[in-house]
Structure 1
Amino acid sequence: MITVDRPVALADEPVHIRVTHLAPQGRIVVHSSATAYDGQAWKAKATFAADEDGVVDLTTSRPESGTYHNVDGMGLLSSMRPPSGDPNLASFAPLYPDLAPSFNVRITVTAHGRSLADRTLTRVWAKPGVRSTDLSLAHDKVVGKLFLPPPGAPRHPGVLAFGGSEGGISMKFEAALLASHGYPTLALGYFRVPGLPTTLHDIPLEYFATAARLLAAQPSTDPAHIIAIGYSRGSEAALLLAEDYPQLVHGTVVYSPSSRVIPGFPHGGNAWTYQGQPVPQNLISLDHLSGPLLSIAGDDDALWASPASARQIAAQLDAIHDRYPHQTLIYPGAGHGVGTFPYLPRAISVINPTTGQKTELGGTRASDAAARQKGWPHVLSFLANTPH
């Protein structure tokens, strides 16, 4: 028998899986499978020995062999692999949450090639009542996807979330999950979307400010607490936004950050502008922040020196701020893919859609998965502890 404490749960929430009524100290194989957006079935497995009571508790049991090797109650999800090819090059991608608010993972137990039990987990992107709206340049002056908690929900901090050099609207899954936790979230595109630049070049900070104001105007948003979450190149924009618009942005989370403004991508030139002028390619000043900051990096980042940048950001804040807290988390063995939410397998080498070129991110799938599992609760705590 397979018991699960929460067969239906948010995709970023852990579940407790136990297999009972087994032969004492008997060996079993626990399998997982889920279907990606392209119809491919991803799978994982782990072999365990039951205890004297005939129980295997995945939260406390170390697999003898399989697709993961350490004690990890959610290892059967984060270690799933595609049916072919190098798993280091592939990320599991379900349908976007506006198309399918959940996806299923089937758990099966076998012994000596015989099926003993199976159970389906439903992993939810958007709780019932969460609404999503496409934002267009013509109608809203920004391009993105706005996810709002159910009507009547109390006001919470709003989150403006955006990615890096991949462009597009890259944080829809995060936005759906955060809205399901109660936080109105706008997944913003700022280049490589219709009507905007095709590359990261001369992007006005005023564009991000327009998005933040739109988010602040939502009935479920506490306008006094807007949080910017920026990943990779987006970390520059998040820090600049918090510095130049302290009355608008009141907290910052940066993943795999840069502490400096660096050239545009991929052709150089200026990445950002402010008030019609290029933002200098210098260390980003943090003199005017009006809220807390959380910085997350992996110490094996192969794309750029994000751990050094995270430490530089902390050093600046140590020197000039005593009003607002800041925290730096650097995870051992993790690469540029250190964030965001956990429990899905992700690549450590990707094809950047802006350039079409292969990019090594560093780290390992296992170390990145462990970092996301530890880091995401810090982000949720950061938001929960922002006054509202």
Structure 2
Amino acid sequence: MIALGSVLALLAVGCSAPAPDGPQIIAGPDGASIAEPVRIVVDGLAPGDPVRVWARANDRMGQWWESSAELTADGTGSVDLTSAESTGGTYQGVDPAGLFWSMRLPDDRAAPVPLAGADDVVVELGVDRDGTTIARSSLRREVRAPDARPIAMAEPGLVGDLYLPAGSGPWPGVLLLGGAEGGRPDPAYAALLANQGFAVLGLAYFGEPRLPTTLTRVPVEYGLSAARWLAERPEVTGPRVGVIGSSRGAEYALLLASSEPDRFGAVVAHAPSDVVWPAPATVPGARRVSSWTREGEDVPFLPLPAGEEPAPEQPVRTAASYAEAVEDAGRWARTTARIPVEDITAPVLLTSGGDDGVWPSTAQAQRAMAAIDAAGNPFGSRHLDFPSAGHPVGGVPNMPTSRTAVPVGPVVLETGGNPAATAGAVRHTFAATLDVLHALTAADG
């Protein structure tokens, strides 16, 4: 949910190399995209050697995020993390990306989302045997290409950044919306999508100067104006653009795409809602105010049940409150608050986690997909659900998912999910997102 724009403090590349006839780490591809598969192999061990392979990276706050795997050398004296089973450490089983998504702070303290908003992620790697480090190396993973060109919007009334791929374009346009954290959406996600050949507008819709302070009465017209601005840019093929939203941004994305269907050629909603909800409970009077307006009037919403205010810094799961609100609402209330997703005239990708602690995204996505299917949507729409994953099922793949308690304003939300399942979901949904966005290229062709 939360996205930060600061650049990582990079580690020095070129750690001490092992002797040619001793153990060594072979890791690659170096400098490739964070979304690409990685391979880490340890050679030069004795067959059956038990070793601990570890990784660590430094975040923007100077904190070390660490991970490890307990492994055994095969009959040739090698450990290949694409096939070797970890029996301990921060992850277990076979997972080539396990050292990346399982990174955590040693003391498990709360901290901003790790390694987000980076140009590069440089990870130091090591191998320990009998408590002694016997080999070291490092691996750089690229998030934002060096020649990516983010441009701050200069359009009056709109706040955001336009991320352009390398080259002269034009490219298909994508509107990117963050969640309840507010501000500009994750620049790492925007840059990574730009690296894939899309002109991405990371749009802030509250929590920035000249915008609403909180997620309260944000105009639908604001997002539609941004989509029109993007479609009319000379760098963008058009006239239809894609839209990607996460969490409350997914709610906004579905609301925008159903309000002006001709504007959007692809829709991706990570952890979405099929109904409109009020402003967050942390906002005074939130249960009586819609998050969105249309023509100056509140978009009808389902009220959340009254409850005790969550204690600051104490993680709280809020999904049950949203499920209760749907269950208690009458048919008229559910109908008026429902987002008319059947009006969307584009492929729709919905993604959800079955252990979502923020809201019941699986049930909400299922209801939305049922409405799309009932309308006979011919555009290849689908719903990807990951039963053991939590709330953050979309975004930059291969980033740490070990931290599930996320500060949002004055409260800490428990996003839920098994970190391994959530990491797998993000990898899967990133590939699926690109598949859906390719509909924009096909339409332009």
Q: How does 1:260-339 map to 2 (within 5 A)?
A: 260-265=275-280, 266=283, 267-268=286-287, 269-281=289-301, 282-339=337-394
The CA distance in 1 between the partners of 2:210 and 2:297, in whole Å, is: 21
Alignment match, 1:34: 57
Q: Which amino acid aligns with 2:27?
A: V
Aligned-residue sequence identity (percent) comes to: 36
Question: Structure 1 residues 170, 223: CA separation in 2 closer, same or farther (over 3 Å shift)?
Answer: same
The CA distance in 2 between the partners of 1:307 and 1:96, in whole Å, is: 28
Q: How does 1:117-156 map to 2 (within 5 A)?
A: 117-135=135-153, 139-153=155-169, 155-156=170-171
The CA distance in 1 between the partners of 2:381 and 2:221, in whole Å, is: 25
5+ residue gaps, structure 2: 1-23, 302-336
Q: Which amino acid aligns with 2:365?
A: A
Secondary structure at the residue paired with 1:247?
helix
Q: Which amino acid aligns with 1:35?
A: N
Alignment match, 1:202: 217
The answer to whether residue 399 in structure 2 is matched with residue 381 in structure 1 is no
Q: Which range is displaced more, 194-203 or 115-124?
A: 115-124
Secondary structure at the residue paired with 1:2?
strand
Q: Which range is displaced more, 305-314 or 139-148?
A: 139-148
Alignment match, 1:73: 96
Q: How does 1:202-281 map to 2 (within 5 A)?
A: 202-265=217-280, 266=283, 267-268=286-287, 269-281=289-301
The CA distance in 1 between the partners of 2:129 and 2:439, in whole Å, is: 47
The CA distance in 1 between the partners of 2:163 and 2:292, in whole Å, is: 26
Q: TM-score normalised to the size of structure 1?
A: 0.92
Secondary structure at the residue paired with 2:394?
coil
Q: Which range is displaced more, 38-47 or 10-19?
A: 10-19
Secondary structure at the residue paired with 2:261?
coil
Secondary structure at the residue paired with 2:343?
coil
Q: Which amino acid aligns with 2:405?
A: S
Within the candidate set 174, 179, 187, 1:164 is matched to 179
Q: Which amino acid aligns with 1:161?
A: L
Cα shift at 1:58: 0.5
Cα shift at 1:225: 3.7
Cα shift at 1:17: 1.4
* 8 Å Cα contact 1:31/1:108 also seen in 2: yes
* 8 Å Cα contact 2:125/2:136 also seen in 1: yes
What is the aligned length? 378
Within the candidate set 344, 369, 373, 2:399 is matched to 344
Q: TM-score normalised to the size of structure 2?
A: 0.81
* 8 Å Cα contact 1:348/1:364 also seen in 2: no
The answer to whether residue 191 in structure 2 is matched with residue 176 in structure 1 is yes
Query: Over residues 225-260 of structure 1, what are the superposed CA-to-partner deviations in whole Å (9 max), with x where a residue is unaligned?
Result: 411111111122111111111121122111111100
Q: Which has the larger radius of gyration?
A: 2
* 8 Å Cα contact 1:92/1:344 also seen in 2: no
Alignment match, 2:332: none
* 8 Å Cα contact 2:58/2:64 also seen in 1: yes
Query: Over residues 178-197 of structure 1, what are the superposed CA-to-partner deviations in whole Å (9 max), with x where a residue is unaligned?
Result: 01111111111111111111
Alignment match, 1:359: 413
* 8 Å Cα contact 2:116/2:188 also seen in 1: no
Alignment match, 1:25: 48
Question: Structure 1 residues 331, 287: CA separation in 2 closer, same or farther (over 3 Å shift)?
Answer: closer
Segments of 4+ moved more than 6 angstroms: none
**RMSD (CA atoms):** 1.7
Q: Which amino acid aligns with 1:382?
A: V
The CA distance in 2 between the partners of 1:362 and 1:113, in whole Å, is: 34
Cα shift at 1:21: 2.0
Q: Which amino acid aligns with 2:406?
A: V
Q: Which amino acid aligns with 2:415?
A: L
